[in-house]
Amino acid sequence: MNELKLSKRLYTVANFIPSGAVLADIGSDHAYLPCFAAINGKVQKAIAGEVVEGPYQSAVKQVERTGLTSRIDVRKGDGLSVLRPSEATCVTIAGMGGGLIAKILEEGKSKLDQTERLILQPNVNANFIRTWLIENGWELIHEEILEEDLKIYEVLVAEKGDPLHPYNGKKQESAILFGPFLMEEKNEVFIKKWSHEKRHWESVAAQIAKGKTTDESTSRREEMETLITMASEVLE
């Protein structure tokens, strides 16, 4: 992977960057995504944010090597703290857990007043992000699920709007867990992911049933049974 050829998951993220955006890529690592977006004329300017010194230095060198220093500003800092208020029209956060992405958004939401689009790629726990979007007035407008190198990723795209719109006519708890668009499309990768999760929950429930019955174990078993039922319904 480099600035000319992204991984499948980052290429999917890049596809949703609006033309002419001012992009902020948070947790940019080697800055491949903003470099790709700049080289392909998708953005007028980009900010690559990175909190860890090693990746930050890698991003600086990458931007210098590709001759993009006038268009990409590499900044060291935690999450959205690298941005000035209302600076970015599009924010991408990729390659982290959903809980961490939601935390970054929550801690930096004052910087998002003029942001038009969020493109978020959690490695796990996408439901944490969907919950944050609902609570903060962001409408999920598109989702993708894909497999690369035996790992499954989800990409969530959101804009300001009616946060409950994609959940209309669906069981909200299930739609937050599985994704309102993904559970409608129900492609091969989706089925593979949630079939695997269902088997895992069934195994956990079976192990709990073999153990000593306590209030905690009963609660945990009921939680697993609820998840198994939800998965069975969506996989039908």
Instruction: Report whether 55 contacts 74 (CB < 8 A).
Output: no
> What does the pLDDT read at residue 236?
87
Q: Which CATH superfamily is domain 8-170 in?
A: Vaccinia Virus protein VP39 (3.40.50.150)
Stretch 92-108: mean pLDDT? 97
Taking the domains of the chain in order of start, what are their residue ranges?
8-170, 189-235
Question: Mean pLDDT for the chain?
Answer: 95
pLDDT for residue 4 is more than 90:
no
pLDDT for residue 2 is more than 70:
no
Stretch 188-216: mean pLDDT? 94
pLDDT for residue 3 is more than 70:
no
What pTM was computed for the model? 0.94
Nearest CA among 46, 47, 37, 124 for reference residue 81: 47
Stretch 171-193: mean pLDDT? 97
